[in-house]
Amino acid sequence: MVQLAAAQGDADSARKRDDIAKRLDPQSLAAAKLAIQTFTPEPPARRRINVATPAGGWDSAPVQAAAPKAAAKPVPAKRTAAAH
């Protein structure tokens, strides 16, 4: 995916791509290049795009209460060299 960002002009991604390419053996580099050339993104699922309006509309939908947070663990006191 770094190659995809580099192809769109992301300089940092291009540096990372080149660094990774130096570390790969020729067979792995060829496989990675082929994967990039044949990559096609999947369209998003319709259920994630077309969300049904809740009963009563969006502005009057009930707000779900957040789950209670676990109690924080006590932090032990730090010991100094003189305390040993």
Q: Enumerate residues 6+ apart whose C-beta is below 8 A from 15.
A: none
pTM over the 0.85 mark: no
* Residue 1: per-residue pLDDT: 62
Residue 8 has pLDDT above 60, yes or no: yes
Query: What pLDDT is stored for residue 49 in this prediction?
Result: 78
Task: Give the end-to-end CA distance of the chain in Å, rounded to a whole number.
Answer: 53
Q: Residue 10: is its pLDDT beyond 60?
A: yes
- Residue 79 has which token pair? 């010991």
Residues 45-73: tens digit of each pLDDT: 777 778 888 888 888 756 666 666 666 67
* Interacting residues of 4 by C-beta distance below 8 A, sequence separation 6+: 36, 39
| pLDDT at 39 exceeding the cut of 70 | yes
pLDDT value at position 83? 52
